[in-house]
Amino acid sequence: MKILVTGGAGFIGSHVVDLCLSAGHEVLVVDNLATGKRENLNPKARFFELDILDPKTADLIRAEKPDVLNHHAAQMDVRKSVADPIFDARTNILGTIELLKAARDAQVKKVLLVSSGGAVYGEQEAFPAPETHPTWPVSPYGVSKRASELYAYFFMSEYKLPFCAFRYANVYGPRQDPHGEAGVVAIFSGKMLRGEPVTVNGDGTQTRDYVYVGDVARMSLLALEKDATGPVNIGTGVETDVNRLAALLLEVSASKSEVRHGPAKPGEQRRSVVDVRHAAAAFGWKPEVPIKDGLRRTVEFFRQKQDRDG
């Protein structure tokens, strides 16, 4: 298949590109390199340095007529979305609509859209949250991700353009950037490898569903083979609190860093975890990398990167 991946130089997108290429697919990458990195680009992919809002991106989709559009490009910082909701909406909502229009015109067979398993549900009423859980996002980022799903649903119902929306939990692993809420693993890893103290917000009992990037990327391959559409949670179904996360990172990094506690972040979700039974039933997907193994691989990546960068 010919697959066009937006955000293919980013943390998760680049892993998706690598897997698609290793499976024998032709891959085109669109990335504006605002947060993506040139070093993440797979040389076997055709790269186009474009913003998803640039009309040239839509022209490219119409000209290349990919079989699948895998849309990972996004404004992904929750705090930035709160500070500048217009920028967030312009990128995540309007950018997605432009891509959906181009995909419709190019007769793309399927759109794979990245959503958020934490942000779209807001404060959870059920643990873990199934895809049928109410969606009341408490950040503009969550609103824009949910809106993108709804626009994709409109294009499917009106124009017969099938889509899957991947509701990712807190993804971590090699190539992760140390920013954004889910960047805590990267932030802690870097500090611990340097022997610097790490700060846990509040009492550290707030939980997240940490899922390894390699597991996450596999869904983009499995979704090519299945007809299932709509939202699908991608996580582990297991809650890990920040205190436990810090302890595991100290262990796998053999660090002597001090773990301190700072003030709690206002408005931070206390608990976030997704139900992944639908992913197993509809796509044959399940997480395979235990958190300790995933953290060990992540720390080793950052250790090598620090040695390389000096």
Alpha carbon separation from 166 to 87, 192, 230 (Å, rounded): 22, 31, 9
Q: Are 121 and 229 members of one domain?
A: yes
Q: Are 94 and 242 members of one domain?
A: no
pLDDT (tens digit per residue) in 80-106: 999 999 999 999 999 999 999 999 999
Q: Are 93 and 175 members of one domain?
A: no
pLDDT (tens digit per residue) in 238-296: 999 999 999 999 999 999 999 999 999 877 889 999 999 999 999 999 999 999 999 99
Q: Are 154 and 251 members of one domain?
A: no
Q: Which structural domain, as residue segments, surrounds residue 127?
A: 2-170+212-234
What value does the mean pLDDT take over residues 6-34? Answer: 98
Q: Are 99 and 247 members of one domain?
A: no
pLDDT (tens digit per residue) in 102-150: 999 999 999 999 999 989 999 999 999 999 999 999 999 999 999 999 9
Q: Are 91 and 222 members of one domain?
A: yes
pLDDT (tens digit per residue) in 142-183: 999 999 999 999 999 999 999 999 999 999 999 998 865 558
Q: Are 104 and 191 members of one domain?
A: no
CATH classification of the domain holding 90: 3.40.50.720
pLDDT at 189 over 70: yes
In a domain, residue 229? The reply is yes
Domain count, the chain: 2
Question: How confident is the model at residue 237, as a pLDDT?
Answer: 98
| Residue bearing tokens 């559009």 | 69
Q: Are 254 and 145 members of one domain?
A: no
Q: Are 244 and 113 members of one domain?
A: no
How far is residue 278's CA from residue 177's CA, in Å, rounded to a whole number?
29
pLDDT (tens digit per residue) in 203-233: 999 999 999 999 999 999 999 999 999 999 9
Q: Are 72 and 205 members of one domain?
A: no
Q: Are 133 and 223 members of one domain?
A: yes
CATH classification of the domain holding 178: 3.90.25.10
Q: What is the pTM of this model?
A: 0.97
Q: Are 79 and 149 members of one domain?
A: yes
In a domain, residue 101? The reply is yes
Cross-strand bridge partners of residue 196? none
In a domain, residue 73? The reply is yes
* Torsion angle (degrees, nearest 10) of CA 73, 76, 80, 84: 50
Mean pLDDT of the chain: 96
- Known catalytic residues are 141
Pairing of strands 198-201, 110-116: unpaired
